[in-house]
Amino acid sequence: MHSPLRQTTSRAWVDAVMADFDTFLLDHAAAEKKASGMAISMLSHYPDKVKLVSIMADLAVEELSHYREVVKWIHARGLLTAADTKDAYVLEFRKNIRQGSEIYLMDRLLTASIIEARGAERFGLVADALTEPGIKKFYTAIARSEERHYETFLNLAYLYLPKDEVDARWSELLDIEAELIRSLPIQAALH
């Protein structure tokens, strides 16, 4: 599946990450940990949605395994993990989640899908920029995994909600996310 994103990441972002890769690694670890927590939150919030619970349980484990792998790279570089910081991109994007049970579910699934699509794009750019084979292979695999996750969240939205409503909101949120990418400062972080 091709990327649905409407604003590509700039070369300046890749340059910022490569110039301060240690900071990027620390942020990546925090992002994986938060993604695992988000999956647990989803399955806790929707215990009546059997398919969602099953998929989110698997996703939580997968994201935590990604965290474990990033921690190995962090420790191999002589670094320590750091306290989590607020992710301005995620916080700003999640402000668009509407209230009301069905539309809240739709918006949670669709924002998560777009965040995963952005991760897939950016991890792929990092993989392309890296030269050391081991970590390059790791980021190539992570990019593919994030692409699967974006599809998973989108497919869950289609499973539980009317397709025409999902398509309309998906388009709106993709436009919102593109504007957010254009407006946020470039830093050595996933978002």
Tens digit of each residue's pLDDT, the chain (191 residues): 588 999 999 999 999 999 999 999 999 999 999 999 999 999 999 999 999 999 999 999 999 999 999 999 999 999 999 888 889 999 999 999 999 989 999 999 999 999 999 999 999 999 999 999 999 999 999 999 999 999 999 999 999 999 999 999 999 999 999 999 999 999 999 99
- Burial of 55: CB neighbours in 10 Å, binned 0-12, 13-18, 19+: buried
The tokens of 146 are what? 């994030």
The tokens of 28 are what? 């990546």
Rounded Cα–Cα distance for residues 183 and 4 (Å): 19
Q: What are the residues whose beta carbons fall under 8 Å from the beta carbon of 154, sequence distance 6 or more?
A: 109, 110, 113, 166, 170
Alpha-carbon dihedral angle through residues 1, 175, 140, 43, given to the nearest 10 degrees: -80
Longest dimension (CA), the chain: 50
The pLDDT score that the predictor gives to residue 85 is 87
The pLDDT score that the predictor gives to residue 2 is 81
The pLDDT score that the predictor gives to residue 135 is 97
Q: Are 5 and 178 in contact (CB under 8 A)?
A: yes
Nearest of 183, 119, 115 to residue 154 by alpha carbon: 115
The pLDDT score that the predictor gives to residue 121 is 98
The tokens of 51 are what? 């398919």
Place of tokens 């996703």: 59
Rounded Cα–Cα distance for residues 90 and 181 (Å): 11
The pLDDT score that the predictor gives to residue 154 is 98
The pLDDT score that the predictor gives to residue 160 is 98
The tokens of 91 are what? 């916080």
Domain spans of the chain, in order of start: 11-183
Q: In terms of CATH architecture, what is 11-183?
A: Up-down Bundle (1.20)
Three-state SS for 161? coil
Local structure of residue 188 (DSSP, 8 states): S
Integer angstrom CA distances of residue 121 from 83, 117, 125 = 25, 6, 6
